[in-house]
Amino acid sequence: MNLSQRYLRGRAVPESVRWVTNQNSRWGSATPAERTIRLSDKLIGMPEWVVDYVLLHELTHLLVASHGPRFWAEMAGYADLERAKAFLDGVSYATSRGLPAGTGSAEDSPED
Of all residues in the chain, the percent with pLDDT exceeding 90 is 80
Q: Pick from 39, 71, 75, 70: which is nearest to 55 by CA?
A: 39
What is the distance between the alpha carbons of residues 105 and 86, in angstroms, rounded to a whole number?
Answer: 16
Provide the residue ranges of all domains of the chain, joining segments of one domain with +: 3-96
Q: Pick from 75, 49, 47: which is nearest to 61 by CA?
A: 75
Higher-confidence residue of 36 and 95: namely 36
Higher-confidence residue of 57 and 1: namely 57
| Residue 110 pLDDT grade (very low, low, confident, very high; cuts 50, 70, 90) | very low
Q: Which CATH number, 3.10.20.600, 3.40.50.150, 3.30.2010.10, 1.10.274.10, labels domain 3-96?
A: 3.30.2010.10
pTM: 0.86
Tell me, what's the pLDDT at 2? 93
